[in-house]
Protein backbone atom coordinates (compact mmCIF):
# COMPACT_ATOMS: atom_id res chain seq x y z
CA UNK A 1 0.00 0.00 0.00
CA UNK A 2 2.85 2.37 0.81
CA UNK A 3 4.42 1.58 -2.56
CA UNK A 4 1.17 2.42 -4.39
CA UNK A 5 0.91 5.76 -2.55
CA UNK A 6 4.48 6.54 -3.45
CA UNK A 7 3.80 5.75 -7.11
CA UNK A 8 0.68 7.94 -7.09
CA UNK A 9 2.62 10.84 -5.56
CA UNK A 10 5.38 10.45 -8.11
CA UNK A 11 2.83 10.35 -10.93
CA UNK A 12 1.14 13.47 -9.57
CA UNK A 13 4.48 15.23 -9.24
CA UNK A 14 5.35 14.27 -12.83
CA UNK A 15 1.99 15.67 -14.03
CA UNK A 16 2.59 18.96 -12.22
CA UNK A 17 6.11 19.19 -13.65
CA UNK A 18 4.81 18.46 -17.15
CA UNK A 19 2.02 21.04 -16.83
CA UNK A 20 4.36 23.64 -15.34
CA UNK A 21 6.86 23.05 -18.11
CA UNK A 22 4.12 23.40 -20.71
CA UNK A 23 3.01 26.69 -19.12
CA UNK A 24 6.57 28.01 -19.30
CA UNK A 25 6.84 26.81 -22.93
CA UNK A 26 3.61 28.61 -23.94
CA UNK A 27 4.70 31.80 -22.18
CA UNK A 28 8.08 31.61 -23.91
CA UNK A 29 6.40 31.11 -27.31
CA UNK A 30 4.32 34.25 -26.81
CA UNK A 31 7.24 36.57 -25.97
CA UNK A 32 8.24 39.10 -28.62
CA UNK A 33 11.82 39.20 -29.89
CA UNK A 34 14.32 40.84 -27.58
CA UNK A 35 17.41 42.91 -28.26
CA UNK A 36 19.20 41.79 -31.40
CA UNK A 37 22.90 42.54 -31.94
CA UNK A 38 24.60 42.51 -35.32
CA UNK A 39 25.66 38.99 -36.36
CA UNK A 40 27.77 37.41 -39.06
CA UNK A 41 24.78 35.57 -40.48
CA UNK A 42 21.05 34.99 -40.37
CA UNK A 43 19.27 31.69 -40.90
CA UNK A 44 15.55 31.39 -41.62
CA UNK A 45 14.03 27.97 -41.04
CA UNK A 46 11.19 27.64 -43.55
CA UNK A 47 7.85 26.08 -42.80
CA UNK A 48 5.56 28.86 -41.66
CA UNK A 49 4.22 32.33 -42.28
CA UNK A 50 6.46 35.34 -41.82
CA UNK A 51 9.80 33.59 -41.44
CA UNK A 52 11.27 34.44 -44.85
CA UNK A 53 9.93 38.01 -44.90
CA UNK A 54 11.30 38.63 -41.41
CA UNK A 55 14.73 37.31 -42.31
CA UNK A 56 14.83 39.39 -45.51
CA UNK A 57 13.94 42.50 -43.50
CA UNK A 58 16.71 41.75 -41.00
CA UNK A 59 19.20 41.33 -43.86
CA UNK A 60 18.04 44.58 -45.51
CA UNK A 61 18.60 46.35 -42.15
CA UNK A 62 22.11 44.84 -42.06
CA UNK A 63 21.52 42.88 -38.84
CA UNK A 64 23.61 40.16 -40.48
CA UNK A 65 26.07 39.97 -43.34
CA UNK A 66 24.60 36.92 -45.07
CA UNK A 67 21.33 34.97 -45.04
CA UNK A 68 20.61 31.27 -45.40
CA UNK A 69 17.01 30.29 -46.07
CA UNK A 70 17.04 26.65 -45.02
CA UNK A 71 14.57 24.02 -46.18
CA UNK A 72 13.42 25.72 -49.36
CA UNK A 73 11.26 23.75 -51.79
CA UNK A 74 13.28 22.61 -54.79
CA UNK A 75 10.96 24.48 -57.17
CA UNK A 76 11.44 27.83 -55.39
CA UNK A 77 13.78 30.45 -56.81
CA UNK A 78 15.34 33.46 -55.14
CA UNK A 79 13.43 35.75 -57.49
CA UNK A 80 10.17 34.30 -56.19
CA UNK A 81 11.14 35.10 -52.59
CA UNK A 82 12.55 38.59 -53.02
CA UNK A 83 10.32 41.65 -53.27
CA UNK A 84 10.54 43.37 -56.63
CA UNK A 85 11.95 46.47 -54.92
CA UNK A 86 14.92 44.58 -53.41
CA UNK A 87 18.30 45.90 -54.53
CA UNK A 88 20.42 43.43 -56.54
CA UNK A 89 23.16 43.58 -53.89
CA UNK A 90 20.75 41.99 -51.39
CA UNK A 91 20.34 38.89 -53.57
CA UNK A 92 24.11 38.38 -53.60
CA UNK A 93 24.05 37.91 -49.82
CA UNK A 94 21.37 35.18 -49.81
CA UNK A 95 21.80 31.42 -50.06
CA UNK A 96 18.87 29.07 -50.58
CA UNK A 97 19.22 25.71 -48.85
CA UNK A 98 17.31 22.96 -50.60
CA UNK A 99 18.41 19.94 -48.52
CA UNK A 100 16.62 20.27 -45.15
CA UNK A 101 13.28 18.57 -44.57
CA UNK A 102 13.24 18.69 -40.74
CA UNK A 103 14.66 20.69 -37.86
CA UNK A 104 17.63 18.32 -37.68
CA UNK A 105 18.08 18.79 -41.43
CA UNK A 106 17.99 22.57 -40.92
CA UNK A 107 20.76 22.24 -38.32
CA UNK A 108 22.90 20.11 -40.64
CA UNK A 109 22.36 22.39 -43.62
CA UNK A 110 23.11 25.45 -41.49
CA UNK A 111 26.31 23.90 -40.10
CA UNK A 112 27.69 23.40 -43.62
CA UNK A 113 26.79 26.97 -44.63
CA UNK A 114 28.28 28.40 -41.40
CA UNK A 115 31.57 26.55 -42.01
CA UNK A 116 31.70 27.65 -45.67
CA UNK A 117 31.14 31.30 -44.70
CA UNK A 118 33.26 31.41 -41.51
CA UNK A 119 30.32 32.53 -39.37
CA UNK A 120 30.73 32.84 -35.59
CA UNK A 121 27.41 34.49 -34.71
CA UNK A 122 24.00 33.68 -36.12
CA UNK A 123 20.49 35.12 -35.87
CA UNK A 124 17.91 32.31 -35.93
CA UNK A 125 14.51 33.15 -37.44
CA UNK A 126 11.69 30.67 -36.99
CA UNK A 127 8.21 30.47 -35.45
CA UNK A 128 8.07 31.33 -31.77
CA UNK A 129 6.75 27.88 -30.82
CA UNK A 130 9.56 26.23 -32.82
CA UNK A 131 12.41 28.36 -31.46
CA UNK A 132 13.38 26.25 -28.43
CA UNK A 133 13.78 23.06 -30.46
CA UNK A 134 15.52 24.88 -33.31
CA UNK A 135 18.06 26.41 -30.92
CA UNK A 136 18.64 23.03 -29.29
CA UNK A 137 19.35 21.27 -32.59
CA UNK A 138 21.45 24.17 -33.93
CA UNK A 139 23.53 24.35 -30.75
CA UNK A 140 24.33 20.65 -31.12
CA UNK A 141 25.74 21.12 -34.63
CA UNK A 142 27.21 24.59 -34.00
CA UNK A 143 28.70 24.47 -30.48
CA UNK A 144 31.15 27.32 -31.19
CA UNK A 145 28.63 29.68 -32.82
CA UNK A 146 26.72 32.29 -30.80
CA UNK A 147 22.99 31.97 -31.54
CA UNK A 148 20.54 34.87 -31.26
CA UNK A 149 16.84 33.92 -31.41
CA UNK A 150 14.48 36.09 -33.39
CA UNK A 151 11.05 34.45 -33.05
CA UNK A 152 8.24 35.16 -35.48
CA UNK A 153 4.78 35.18 -33.93
CA UNK A 154 2.69 33.17 -36.41
CA UNK A 155 -1.08 33.64 -36.84
CA UNK A 156 -1.79 30.58 -34.66
CA UNK A 157 -0.24 32.38 -31.67
CA UNK A 158 -2.57 35.37 -31.98
CA UNK A 159 -5.18 33.21 -30.22
CA UNK A 160 -3.10 30.76 -28.14
CA UNK A 161 -6.08 29.38 -26.21
CA UNK A 162 -7.86 28.08 -29.29
CA UNK A 163 -7.95 24.33 -29.51
CA UNK A 164 -5.88 24.25 -32.71
CA UNK A 165 -3.25 26.57 -31.20
CA UNK A 166 -3.04 24.56 -27.98
CA UNK A 167 -2.69 21.37 -29.99
CA UNK A 168 0.15 22.91 -32.01
CA UNK A 169 1.87 24.12 -28.84
CA UNK A 170 1.45 20.75 -27.13
CA UNK A 171 2.85 18.92 -30.15
CA UNK A 172 5.86 21.22 -30.31
CA UNK A 173 6.37 20.92 -26.54
CA UNK A 174 6.44 17.12 -26.86
CA UNK A 175 8.90 17.35 -29.76
CA UNK A 176 11.12 19.68 -27.73
CA UNK A 177 11.03 17.30 -24.75
CA UNK A 178 11.88 14.45 -27.11
CA UNK A 179 14.80 16.41 -28.54
CA UNK A 180 16.01 17.20 -25.00
CA UNK A 181 15.91 13.48 -24.27
CA UNK A 182 17.83 12.67 -27.43
CA UNK A 183 14.84 11.26 -29.31
CA UNK A 184 15.36 13.06 -32.60
CA UNK A 185 14.58 10.31 -35.05
CA UNK A 186 12.16 10.81 -37.95
CA UNK A 187 10.01 8.00 -36.55
CA UNK A 188 9.37 10.03 -33.36
CA UNK A 189 8.36 13.03 -35.45
CA UNK A 190 5.95 10.86 -37.48
CA UNK A 191 4.50 9.41 -34.25
CA UNK A 192 3.90 12.88 -32.81
CA UNK A 193 2.24 14.09 -36.02
CA UNK A 194 -0.23 11.21 -36.16
pLDDT tens for residues 168-179? 889 999 999 999
d(CA 10, CA 18): 12
Structure confidence by residue, pLDDT tens digits, 30-64: 888 888 999 999 999 998 889 999 999 999 999 99
- Residue 118: CA count within 13 A, CB half-sphere: 0
Q: What average pLDDT does this structure show over 5-22?
A: 80
Residue 62 Cα distances to 38, 82, 90, 91, angstroms? 8, 16, 10, 13
By residue count, the chain amounts to 194
Q: Identify the pLDDT of residue 92.
A: 93
DSSP code of 143?
Answer: T
Residue 193 predicted with pLDDT over 90: no
Q: Using the CB atoms, write b or e for 54-91: b if 16+ within 10 Å.
A: bbbebbeeebbebbbbbbbeeeeeeeebbeeebeeebe
Q: Identify the pLDDT of residue 184.
A: 61
Q: Identify the pLDDT of residue 3.
A: 75
Centre a 10 Å sphere on the Cβ of residue 123 and count the other Cβ atoms it contains: 26
- Residue 165: CA count within 13 A, CB half-sphere: 15
Asked whether the beta carbons of 48 and 154 are under 8 A apart, the reply is yes
Residue 189 predicted with pLDDT over 60: no
What is the overall mean pLDDT for the chain? Answer: 88
Q: Identify the pLDDT of residue 44.
A: 97
Q: Regarding predicted confidence, which is higher, 8 or 184?
A: 8
31-157, CATH topology level: Rossmann fold (3.40.50)
* E strands in the chain: 39-45, 64-70, 94-97, 121-127, 146-152
Amino acid sequence: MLFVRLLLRLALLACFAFAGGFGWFVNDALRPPGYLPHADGIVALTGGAGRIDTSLNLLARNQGERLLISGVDTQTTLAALLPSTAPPALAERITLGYQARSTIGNATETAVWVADNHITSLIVVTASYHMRRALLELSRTLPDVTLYPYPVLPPAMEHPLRRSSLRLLALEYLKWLGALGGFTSPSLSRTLHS
